[in-house]
Chains A and B, each alone.
Chain A
Amino acid sequence: MNRFPLNTTSKFDRSGRTKLSLIVAALIIGQVLAIPFLLPQRTQACGPFFTDAIFVFSKHPDFPLDKFAAGKLGVVSESWARSYLVIAYRNLAGDPLSDAEAKAIKSLWDDRLNNSFDYYSDSWVKDWNEARKAAGATAPVEVQVYRNREKPREYESFLNCQQDAFINATKLLNERVKLFGVNSQQVKSWLAAQDTVFSNCSEGRHLPKDAAAELPDLPQLLRADRAYQIAAANFYSTNFDEAKQQFEAIARDKGSPYQVIAPYMAARSMLRKGSFAEKEDEGRPFLNDAETRLGAILKDNSLKDSHHAADRLLNLARLRAHPEEKLHELAREIMKKDASQDFKQAVWDYTILMDKYVEVEDEAAKRQLPASLGSDDLTDWIVTFEGDLATGEAHAIEKWQKTKALPWLVAALANAGGKQPLLNELLAAGANVSPSSPAFPTVAFHSVRLLKEANRAAEARAMLDKILAGERQQLNSSALNLFLGQRMMAAQNLNEFLQNAPRVPAGFSYNDDGRELPDEDSAPKASEAPKSLFDLDAANVFNKAMPVAILKDAASSKTLPANLRRDVAQAAFVRAAILDDRETAIQAAASLGAELPQVKEFLDAYQKATTPEGRRFAGAFLTLKFPGLRPFVSAGVGRTTAVDDVDSYRDNYWCTDPPTPQNGSPSEDAQGKNKSVAAPDFLKTAQTLAARQYAALQAFGPGPNYLCRLSIEWAQKNPTDPRAPEALHLAVRSTRYGCTDNDTGRWSKAAFDLLHSRYPNTTWAKNTKYWFK
């Protein structure tokens, strides 16, 4: 609380003591009145990311990626990162990767998935300081390797001093120490100058002293060092013109040990200057100058020691000066086996350039790509396959008709819709793709999709049955799950549906960063049989598109594995009980009791209830005792807390909507509209009933409201039932640990009040200290 200091000045006269007393009193009272405004406002009651199942990877192929690199493509997805599409294309084009290329691309994926290229480690500077210490330096220096750009890009940094700068400096320092000795004047002078060079890494313009001015009798070698250090200081302080001139002077100095590297550094100065220009056309002359200089270096045999570095830098210069040309050049290198000297770098640069051209800022502008972008087949294919073109379908089919090449058949099938006039030709071509082809899963998936869109369900089913019978073992998990999903939706009866609903996840992940990286700790052990779960498509059908009587039949089916049968059985019973469908509930109770013996006693009570109210209460009491029961089936990993325990993340009882996967998509889109659920073929005629039942379920609101209401009604009419006070206690608890809405608070209070007024001396009342809004 803020306090004003008391004014205790003593310049008042005698009557001032009275005045002083008044002033003090006023101050105190004033502060007291102001207290409510000065006190901080008081109010009255991890990171939860969870591992969940991924059934179909959407950002990258299935792990391990070595298999993908070797041609086991699975169903190629347009949502994958482009480096995967590059490799998919190579395999589809019949030119699989060499061992060296496979190793290189795996290294690229490791770097990108682990972000390991992205962060600077202070080990560069630590190592430099170690070298300095060995040379006699008494204190380490702090070097910040990033430098802020100038206005108007003052919030942007760049990596100014790279690792090679510190490595080279260390090497040179060690050489000078060998020559002149630790702590010698010469080494101290050299080191001081180098520290000045590195002080430019992060800011300012700090130049080492001119050699002649500092030590007139400095040896020639150290003079040459100093000249280079001064030029380097200008380079790092972004005085590129001055740096260039100084490097040129060094290049002319036949006595300088830097004569060979200096032209390269002059070129590098121009490359940086061109790269930092505000507008592309302002930078172009300098990029072109860099390109010319580097080309000249590569032609000059006397400079061969810097050819490797110059070659790499020329690649970068061309990337910046002629990005589209470079894109196509890289594409041509990548398309052919072992055509590139540095496959990893080539794919890296290619995908970065692709991002530049195909980074969509605005959906409307998305489709207006430069026509020349498709002038090489790889780029054309990627852009078409991704769906980046407004004319993708037509273009893909045209290319396929012209070339009959497998990549274009894949692109044509992926882009086509069910009304495509050439559908039969496409499907016929797809049917000729051998199951051993890398294209097979993608071709088959889209062929099935197209058949369904063309209302040729019987053919789709036949194709899927053939694939699942003959090729299941060859498919990776994501591909298998995609086919199972298609077959499930084509089910002609409940049994077919239940055969194809369970899926073994392709992986488990926290996926808190959207990269779908596997969480190894959650993966099943090699000795364990993989456990099937429901994906969201299956759960949606159970929850929204299946009448409860059919759900009850699913609960008793042995087609489902035990864990999923249990989930369906509890959903069937609880839903039937809430909807007051006694017959269905009693039949479902038999299934549930078999799966969860601990609830049998409560199921018996439900069956034995002689009145509708008694029945409804018995059902409610069961779910109060077992907070893990709900009228819905779970997708993914689901609730992992024991069924009779309260989950500490509030996954208890039920909400108005079914539970979504831990890290899955919400049931509503950004506009708050419910996403519609597609019904499988055999349920299409039952949708009116399913919708009616779902609406009735939703009308009850979240579970805690319903449970409070039933507990209150029962206790009021059956006050001597020993279950009544416990039910009221559990109902109040449910309002704390379950879903709530606007009305939950009043239900919570009503249950609380009734418990305390009617059963004040019970343990239940004593253990119910609060109600909850």
Chain B
Amino acid sequence: MKRAFSFRNIIVLLGASLLLSSITIAITILRKTAHSPKSSPQLILWAWERPTDLRFIDAKHVGVAFLAKSILLRSDDVLVRPRLQSLQLVEGTKVIAVTRIETDRDHKASLSAQQRDAVSRAIADLASLPNVSEIQIDFDATKSERSFYRDLIKDVRSHLPAQFRLSITALASWCMFDDWISDLPINEAVPMLFRMAGDGKHIMTRLDAGDDFNATPCRQSYGISLDEQRPKLLPSRKLYVFNPDAWTEKSLREISESPR
């Protein structure tokens, strides 16, 4: 009986396998590159609630994540405030639309399905803004709010076109000690390394010592503030920067030129 797998066949088989695996790996790398941080600017400025003129930035190297919407959850209500301050950008700037969510401390949010639906639609609406290719959610959810937030993220993801990136800001403790975010359908979680309370000092020490975040989504970027000390940062990661004052060419230079 003729042997199905002669020596020659084996060589051919191995060669074909190698070729195929190379193609697969290459395609995977390309797909990752399309959404990887490296294809977009590595420095992102947060533009918050003040008139902001960033027409001086180099859009090839600097992107902008601007506060596009603020949402307050109060009892059963969803109170929405879009951006009411000017934002002036240079053509071609990579733009991330951020939604900040807060819950009213005096009138506890019901966190109902209806509320979640209203919030997710309000966030997903931001995808229609010009030049926006990424949505970011900023919500310091307490432990009791996590289930709501998890479902909200899933809902937002389902409303967004597939090519849209979805990121969240993350408390540094979520990234380091309290990982509940690794299985969320997000592209990125930006660890916020400023205005930290609790074990913030400990986290800074760990990062200075060369440790990394435990939660995978937190390993692409850092969030820092101009007015606070920062730990040792890996230069390969994207940097989001908050400025408590207005952005100027001087403050941009300060962050662009400071060593990591």
Contacts and interface: CB of A to CB of B under 8 A. Distances in A.
B112 interface: no
A49 interface: yes
Interface residues of B, number: 70
B209 A742 contact: yes
B13 A34 contact: no
Contact of A122 (B77, B143, B245): B77
Interface in B48-99: 50, 66, 68, 70, 72, 77-89, 95
A42 B171 CA distance: 21
Interface string B204-217: 01101111001010
B229 A157 contact: no
Given A668-B229, A742-B209, A30 B24 contact: yes
A85 to B, nearest CB: 20
B9 A34 contact: no
A740 B206 contact: yes
B80 A27 contact: no
A742 B250 CA distance: 35
Interface string B178-208: 1100000000000000001111111001101
A37 B33 CA distance: 13
A570 to B, nearest CB: 20
Contacts of B147: none
A354 B85 CA distance: 17
Interface string A79-90: 000000000000
A146 interface: yes
B34 interface: no
Nearest to A667: B201
A660 B68 CA distance: 34
A669 B87 contact: no
Interface string A30-42: 1111100110111
Contacts of A49: 140, 197-198
Nearest to B182: A43
A362 B53 CA distance: 14
B113 interface: no
B130 A362 contact: no
A48 B173 contact: yes
A119 B80 contact: yes
B162 to A, nearest CB: 15
B171 A47 contact: yes
A348 interface: no
A153 B87 contact: yes
Given A25-B13, A361-B248, A155 B81 contact: no
Contacts of B17: 25-26, 29-30, 33
Contact of B214 (A45, A155, A651): A45
A25 B83 CA distance: 57
Given A34-B28, A672-B229, A50 B4 contact: no
Interface in B1-42: 4, 9, 12-14, 16-21, 23-25, 28-29
B28 A37 contact: yes
A152 interface: yes
Interface in B121-156: 129-130, 140-143
B13 A121 contact: no
B209 to A, nearest CB: 4
B198 A649 contact: yes
Interface residues of A, number: 71
Q: Which of B20, B66, B80, B196 has the most A CB atoms < 10 Å from its CB?
A: B20
Contacts of B208: 741
B201 A155 contact: no
A47 B141 contact: yes
Contacts of A660: 201
Contacts of B117: none
B37 to A, nearest CB: 14
A773 B68 CA distance: 40
Contact of B81 (A42, A118, A662): A118
A476 B18 CA distance: 79
A154 interface: yes
Given A37-B24, A360-B245, A156 B87 contact: yes
Given A18-B9, A22-B16, A34 B245 contact: no
A655 to B, nearest CB: 6
A223 B171 CA distance: 59
B228 A670 contact: yes
A158 B13 contact: no
Contacts of B78: 122
A26 B13 contact: yes
A34 B21 CA distance: 5
A650 interface: yes
Interface string A655-674: 10100101100101111100
A704 to B, nearest CB: 11
Nearest to A43: B216
B24 A158 contact: no
B202 A740 contact: yes
Given A50-B198, A156-B87, A663-B197, A362 B250 contact: yes
Nearest to B97: A155
A361 B249 CA distance: 11
B176 to A, nearest CB: 9
Given A669-B229, A670-B228, A120 B198 contact: no
B226 interface: yes
A2 B199 contact: no
A42 B198 CA distance: 28
Q: Which among B19, B21, B200 has the greatest number of chain A C-beta atoms within 10 A?
A: B21
Contacts of B226: 670
A493 interface: no
Contact of B199 (A40, A48, A154, A512): A48
Contacts of A29: 13-14, 17, 20-21
Given A34-B28, A740-B209, A154 B130 contact: yes
A120 B81 contact: yes
A360 B244 CA distance: 11
Interface in A312-336: none
Contacts of A21: 4
Given A46-B143, A666-B228, A26 B16 contact: yes
B209 A44 contact: no
Contacts of A18: 4, 9
A155 B24 contact: no
A31 B143 contact: no
Given A670-B226, A670-B227, A740-B205, A26 B84 contact: no
Interface in A149-185: 151-159
Contacts of A672: 229
A33 B202 CA distance: 40
Contact of A650 (B89, B142, B199, B248): B199
A50 B197 contact: yes
Closest 5 interchain pairs by CB? A48-B198, A30-B20, A119-B79, A33-B21, A26-B16
Interface of B: 4, 9, 12-14, 16-21, 23-25, 28-29, 50, 66, 68, 70, 72, 77-89, 95, 129-130, 140-143, 171, 173, 177-179, 196-202, 205-206, 208-211, 214, 216, 219, 226-229, 245-246, 248, 250
19 contacts: A2-B24, A30-B24, A31-B24, A42-B216, A46-B143, A49-B197, A121-B77, A152-B88, A153-B87, A156-B84, A156-B85, A159-B84, A360-B245, A512-B140, A655-B205, A670-B227, A740-B209, A741-B209, A773-B211
Given A26-B20, A30-B23, A34-B24, 16 more contacts: A25-B13, A25-B17, A26-B13, A32-B21, A34-B28, A37-B29, A42-B216, A50-B198, A118-B81, A119-B79, A157-B83, A158-B84, A159-B84, A362-B246, A362-B250, A741-B205
